[in-house]
């Protein structure tokens, strides 16, 4: 008998059949998938998409003071356009807007909130490196329109989360609290097909991802962890590690889900006003939910990321996620440093005292 792998819509119908508001959630995720297909087509064209328009390389800045490129704005509008009209969401939060997006008058409001980063890693567009879209779905329990406060829900209250990655193939990876599953876009038929059911992160790894150019700003526990990894077989870890850094959170997390590893964007002293770099609601929380549903762990470096109570819709936070064993080690290093029980680190490569303890600084 010929076996046909299920499409995204068929998978969601079965997967959410017995869950509260399962049909509405399925419909919303299908709307998000439609937006992803549109974005995939736009991203694939790159600069070709902007022929005849005003200077596509003239970037502006968004509400966070970051460089905002035309594709950032366009992809934001695509997600809004696909998801505002169906009566499934009560409101939306986007990285590109300072305040929550209100559903226009005349359109029905639903019982879900959608928060999203429309084009994660957009700085990589110019060099043709994978970028993506990240999203999270929350419940809205009230009849009236949501305020900013309604979006301030801890990550464990997410009912669904996911990302799309636009690379050699377009993939949609999502969870609705019952495992993490990957779908590949079949461009010939225009459907997402289940290709990676029930993803599981390996229990051990020899890969880590971090921006090492910030090493001088890291806290001692992170310096200790990365230093031990870099020493490899000759150090305390007794095995060699590979370091990766793509500067696209979607690409980093996708690699971890496919073959394991740990991703760190930790707290540092580079800008004291920012205790972290990644946004809690629409970057850290959805990625942490995906990782934990695949058997990994998401953390601030000091404790579970999904337990953090948000204080603002664009709140930034330090992030460590990936293989559970490695994340728990990093958390232990933070505890040992804070209670003063961490040991001086001596490099067998150079036979010199490390700068991982305050008294050595």
Per-residue pLDDT reduced to its tens digit, 323-334: 999 999 999 999
pLDDT given for residue 32 in this prediction: 98
pLDDT given for residue 51 in this prediction: 52
Helices (H), the chain: 8-15, 22-45, 70-83, 220-231, 249-259, 285-293, 324-339
pLDDT given for residue 58 in this prediction: 52
Tokens, residue 2: 């010929």
pLDDT given for residue 275 in this prediction: 80
Summarize pLDDT for 146-199 with one digit per residue, the tens: 999 999 999 999 999 999 999 999 999 999 999 999 999 999 999 999 999 999
Q: Are 217 and 203 in contact (CB under 8 A)?
A: no
pLDDT given for residue 359 in this prediction: 40
Residue numbers in the chain where pLDDT is lower than 50: 1-2, 52-57, 349-361
Contacts of 243 (CB under 8 A, 6+ apart): 207, 208, 209, 210, 212, 229, 230
Counting every residue written for the chain, the total comes to 361
Buried b (16+ CB within 10 A) or exposed e, 220-239: bbbbbbbbbbbbeeebebee
CA distance 43 to 185: 14
How far lies 321's CA from each of 116, 215, 265, 308, in Å? 19, 18, 9, 14
Does this model's pTM top 0.85?
Answer: yes
């Amino acid at each position: 008998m010929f076996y046909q792998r299920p499409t995204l819509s068929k998978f969601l119908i079965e997967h959410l059949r017995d869950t509260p508001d399962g049909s509405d959630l399925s419909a919303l995720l299908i709307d998000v998938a439609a937006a992803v297909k549109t974005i995939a087509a736009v991203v694939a064209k790159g600069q070709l998409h902007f022929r005849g328009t005003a200077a596509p390389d003239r970037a502006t800045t968004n509400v966070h003071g970051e460089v905002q490129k035309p594709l950032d704005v366009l992809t934001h509008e695509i997600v809004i356009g696909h998801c505002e009209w169906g009566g499934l969401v009560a409101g939306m939060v986007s990285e590109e807007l300072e305040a929550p997006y209100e559903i226009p008058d005349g359109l029905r409001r639903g019982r879900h909130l959608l928060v999203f980063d429309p084009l994660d890693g957009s700085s990589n567009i110019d060099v043709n490196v994978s970028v993506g879209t990240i999203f999270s779905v929350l419940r809205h329990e009230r009849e009236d329109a949501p305020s900013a406060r309604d979006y301030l829900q801890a990550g464990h209250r997410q009912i669904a989360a996911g990302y799309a990655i636009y690379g050699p193939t377009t993939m949609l990876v999502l969870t609705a609290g019952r495992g993490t599953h990957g779908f590949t876009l079949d461009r010939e038929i225009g459907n997402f097909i289940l290709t990676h059911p029930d993803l599981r992160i390996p229990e051990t790894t020899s890969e880590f991802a971090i921006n090492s150019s910030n090493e001088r700003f890291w806290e001692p526990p992170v310096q200790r962890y990365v230093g031990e990894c870099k020493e490899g077989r000759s150090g305390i870890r007794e095995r060699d590690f590979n370091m990766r850094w793509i500067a696209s959170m979607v690409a980093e997390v996708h690699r971890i889900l496919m073959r394991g590893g740990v991703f760190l964007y930790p707290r540092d002293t580079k800008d004291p006003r920012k205790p972290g770099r990644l946004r809690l609601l629409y970057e850290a929380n959805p990625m942490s939910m995906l990782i934990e549903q695949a058997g990994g762990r998401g953390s601030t470096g000091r404790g579970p990321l999904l337990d953090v109570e948000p204080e603002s819709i664009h709140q930034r936070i330090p992030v460590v996620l990936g293989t559970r064993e490695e994340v728990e080690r990093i958390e232990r290093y933070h505890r040992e440093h804070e209670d003063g029980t961490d040991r001086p680190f001596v490099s067998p490569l150079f036979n010199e005292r490390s700068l991982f303890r305050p008294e050595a600084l």
